[in-house]
Structure 1
Amino acid sequence: MLWGYYDPLLKDNIGLFSPYNGTYDGIYNVFDGKDDISKVGFIDRWRGESVLQFWGDKYCDMINGTDASSFPPFLDKKPLYFFSSDICRSVSAGFEQSMDLKGIEVYRYVLQPNTLASPTVNPDNQCFCRNEVVTNNCTMAGVLDISSCQAGRPIYISLAHFLGGSRSLLENVKGLNPSEKHHGTYLDVEPTTGFTLRFAKRTQVNMMYGPSKNITVLKKVKEYTIFPLVWMNETASVDDVTADMLKKELISRIEMLDIIQKALLGTGVAIFVLCLISYCVVRRNQSKIV
């Protein structure tokens, strides 16, 4: 299942990680921010191309944002965009709330609700609909057909337990219980540096099966059904040593600058008030002399 086996239905070697065993997903060219700090980390080209070749559409084939490990500094809570080669597309995450991570303020971003919405809800997703029969005329939400970047294999990507997916996905398979807490994907980003300090990437790999007269186990499958194979939970968080270093080298200095700024502002206000009082006293004395 993990590293590959011969599938008699597809007549091909199938494995969740077999394409990545001893290899990588391609060369990335990214902006270094020298000319424009707001573009630091943005992907310019992947595998030598500035656009994808999977979807046959200008919008869906765009490579937007970074690789999600970092973003341009000084975040303003606007949506963040990043590209994932695992799902062969770019996605966006929206600001949810500010949080404390080991004494560091971070912004939590979660996947936008319209990321895997059906084209009837989000028309921009029309170009991601590859099979109208399986998706009930492109009305199904929560799954992404990535067969175009998986050598034609009927593989569908979703959030764990079909989180956010159509009701039919849950009704066709027993044992699913989607929960945002346990199955959601998020990024916790430090807003000043733009570094991702904690994340959870939870995806589910599914395969589509349809009616078959030849395969006994599939004779009871009356319609095209998307079956979960496995869901993966990739999580990581900044360690204590790095967090302490970040607080010492960055957070404490920013706080010191804030204190200095307030002190200078207070001093300036005090000097202005003294000057104003002195001016009023001088004018009053001049009036008495006259």
Structure 2
Amino acid sequence: MCWSSCSDLQRKMVSFGCSAFLILFAIVLGTLWPSLSSKLLHDKFVIKNGSVNYQNWIKTPIPMYLEVYLFNWTNPGELHQYPNVKPYFEEVGPYVFHEVHERVNLIWNQNNTVTFNQRRTWHFDPERSKGSLDDTVTNLNVISLNTAYFMRDRSTLVKWPVDLVLEVDGSLVWHDKTVRELLFDGFDDPLLDILKTLNTTVNIPFDKFGWFVNRNLSDTYDGTFTMKTGADSLENVGLLTLWNGASNTEMYRGQCGKVRGTTGELWPVSYSNKTNVTLFASDVCRSITLQYGESMSIYNVQGTKYVANEQVFDNGTEYPEASCWCNSLPEQCPDLKSGVFNASACKYGSPTFVSYPHFYLGDKSYSNSINGMKPNKSKHEFYIALEPHTGIPLDVRAQLQINMLLQPIKGFKMYENVPRLMIPMLWFTQRATLTQELANQAKIALILPELGVYIAIFLGTIGAILVAVFTYISIRKWNTRVPYEELLR
């Protein structure tokens, strides 16, 4: 269109038309954008093939690391002198493994859920580690302890031959086991077959002992999960409904047995800043609720830090509502001092107990009964930082310690005169921190709901200014033309 060939009236009509179009477009955009942006965010965050959240979930893009610290018992020969001489444990490590999570065997269900298995892969990272996998560690003999523990209520006649076997093939401690044996490689123990025979109530699924044996590249070790995809509401993204086909683990009483929370990689969108969050940890077959904490920022993405506090590993001693975590008869609860959780129901009946590293936040009696514990908030705090509006994890420090309960067991010479002690075996932390690329994705998602509104305001403002300018010019021209016409009369 040739602007110079148009009449003054035509130019005015075009100018006012363009201005009116900008204003009208701004009104329509501002009105429709909230629903459009909601649709865009839904397509981005819902778990479906091809969505951004799906790609980030099917194989975790954030670099993850498993850092393992083992405890070396330096004076086991002096156990009979307790309490004058306390057991001393020296922390060794960390032994760092690069960790990758993949979701496999997906089944899409009709009720907006997906069922899947989780495959975890670990590769040793010597450059990040402090030590070699060939380092040696001395600590409690878990197989001997479990053999005696499983027989603790049997008759003397049954215990006697097992005690003889323990004296020949067993030992109170394992001396100089390598880190690779204790973690992923495992090692043979002549008592393991006996232990599997004695514990007929559960199926012990390994032929070697190692804290992580049979886990690397396993599709089934963590169990089968069913979670909500968020197709009905983004506030449901990642929430588990079933674990191993059931909504209750049947391992703990009441609310404590329910499968609740997420697996930790996906979180519901639009979390309220002051809402506690819950994750389900298959390692201990239970949910862990983290409390709202302080604000934090990574790559200029603002988030909220959620912290696991004293209540997580209480069984009714300090928090009555936590009494359902007690595994003893109700009249015997609480049966543990706060700070240690009885995970035996999750560990084939073994006297295995979970705490924070170095008994952080636990009753002082645990760390005071032995030497070498140095609980420290900055090093041992369990937390997850989330961007609350998108549910994107910013920083993860999931940290747990595995302990074995050493206690007198009648009928077994090896254990008849030992003190009752919570023995630390190892602790580990899973670390993951947001990358710059994912931070940029989060920023886009955060500004998307307001972006259209800002554009509408900008265009509407330009349109209004143009209308005002064109109106002013037209009025001024009309006022200057009237006196000239009167002079011609």
Q: Under TM normalisation by the shorter chain, which class is it?
A: 0.7 to 0.9
Question: Deviations 1:152-204 (Å, cap 9, x if unpaired)?
Answer: 11111111111111111011121111111100111110111112121001110
Deviation at 1:61, TM superposition (A): 0.8
- Supply the AA of the counterpart residue of 1:16: W
Question: Distance between the aligned counterparts of 2:346 and 2:277, measured in 1?
Answer: 24
Indicate whether 1:186 and 2:383 are aligned: yes
Matches within 5 A, 1:19-38: 19-23=214-218, 24=220, 25-38=222-235
Indicate whether 1:82 and 2:279 are aligned: yes
Question: Distance between the aligned counterparts of 1:31 and 1:19, measured in 2?
Answer: 29
Cα separation, partners in 2 of 1:187 and 1:160, compared to 1, 3 Å: same
Question: Deviations 1:129-160 (Å, cap 9, x if unpaired)?
Answer: 2258xx99525011111111211111111111
Deviation at 1:252, TM superposition (A): 4.6
- Aligned-pair identity in percent equals 27
- Supply the AA of the counterpart residue of 1:18: V
Cα separation, partners in 2 of 1:244 and 1:85, compared to 1, 3 Å: same
Cα separation, partners in 2 of 1:112 and 1:35, compared to 1, 3 Å: same
Question: Distance between the aligned counterparts of 2:249 and 2:395, measured in 1?
Answer: 28
Q: Which structure 1 segments of 5+ residues have no match? A: 272-290
Q: Which structure 2 segments of 5+ residues have no match? A: 1-181, 197-207, 466-489
Residue from 382, 398, 418 that aligns with 1:201: 398
CA contact (8 A) 1:146 1:157 kept: yes
SS, match of residue 242 in structure 1: helix
In the other structure, the counterpart of 1:236 is: 432
Q: Which has the higher helix share?
A: 2
Question: Distance between the aligned counterparts of 2:431 and 2:183, measured in 1?
Answer: 19
Indicate whether 1:96 and 2:293 are aligned: yes
Question: Distance between the aligned counterparts of 1:261 and 1:194, measured in 2?
Answer: 28
- Supply the AA of the counterpart residue of 2:183: L
Cα separation, partners in 2 of 1:221 and 1:42, compared to 1, 3 Å: same
Cα separation, partners in 2 of 1:208 and 1:38, compared to 1, 3 Å: same
In the other structure, the counterpart of 1:39 is: 236
Question: Deviations 1:71-120 (Å, cap 9, x if unpaired)?
Answer: 21112121111211111111211111111111111111111431112413
Question: Distance between the aligned counterparts of 2:292 and 2:376, measured in 1?
Answer: 19
- Supply the AA of the counterpart residue of 1:154: P
Cα separation, partners in 2 of 1:254 and 1:74, compared to 1, 3 Å: same
In the other structure, the counterpart of 1:283 is: none
- Supply the AA of the counterpart residue of 1:243: A
Deviation at 1:259, TM superposition (A): 4.8
Cα separation, partners in 2 of 1:70 and 1:262, compared to 1, 3 Å: farther
CA contact (8 A) 1:63 1:89 kept: yes
Cα separation, partners in 2 of 1:63 and 1:137, compared to 1, 3 Å: closer
Deviation at 1:261, TM superposition (A): 8.0
Cα separation, partners in 2 of 1:188 and 1:264, compared to 1, 3 Å: farther
- Cα-Cα RMSD: 3.0
Q: Of the two structures, which has the highest relative contact order with CA contacts closer than 8 Å and spacing of 6 or more?
A: 2
Deviation at 1:41, TM superposition (A): 1.2
How many residues are treated as equivalent by the alignment? 263
Indicate whether 1:15 and 2:210 are aligned: yes
**TM-score with structure 2 setting the length:** 0.49
Q: Please list every run of at least 4 consecutive aligned residues from structure 1 whose deviation after the TM superposition is greater than 3 angstroms.
A: 7-14, 212-216, 251-265
SS, match of residue 297 in structure 2: strand
CA contact (8 A) 1:54 1:148 kept: yes
Residue from 258, 263, 267 that aligns with 1:67: 263
Question: Distance between the aligned counterparts of 1:237 and 1:126, measured in 2?
Answer: 34
CA contact (8 A) 2:248 2:257 kept: yes
SS, match of residue 73 in structure 1: coil
In the other structure, the counterpart of 2:340 is: 143
Question: Distance between the aligned counterparts of 2:190 and 2:398, measured in 1?
Answer: 27
Question: Distance between the aligned counterparts of 2:446 and 2:322, measured in 1?
Answer: 40
Matches within 5 A, 1:210-229: 210-211=407-408, 214=412, 221-222=418-419, 224-229=420-425
Cα separation, partners in 2 of 1:58 and 1:137, compared to 1, 3 Å: closer
Cα separation, partners in 2 of 1:155 and 1:19, compared to 1, 3 Å: farther
**Structure label with greater radius of gyration:** 2
Indicate whether 1:162 and 2:343 are aligned: no
Residue from 350, 367, 375 that aligns with 1:153: 350
Deviation at 1:219, TM superposition (A): 6.4
Question: Distance between the aligned counterparts of 1:124 and 1:15, measured in 2?
Answer: 35
- Supply the AA of the counterpart residue of 2:337: M
CA contact (8 A) 1:7 1:14 kept: no
Question: Distance between the aligned counterparts of 1:60 and 1:245, measured in 2?
Answer: 36
CA contact (8 A) 1:29 1:46 kept: yes
Question: Distance between the aligned counterparts of 1:240 and 1:105, measured in 2?
Answer: 14
**TM-score with structure 1 setting the length:** 0.79
Residue from 319, 344, 369 that aligns with 1:172: 369
SS, match of residue 198 in structure 1: strand
In the other structure, the counterpart of 1:114 is: 311
CA contact (8 A) 1:110 1:186 kept: yes
Question: Distance between the aligned counterparts of 1:234 and 1:151, measured in 2?
Answer: 24
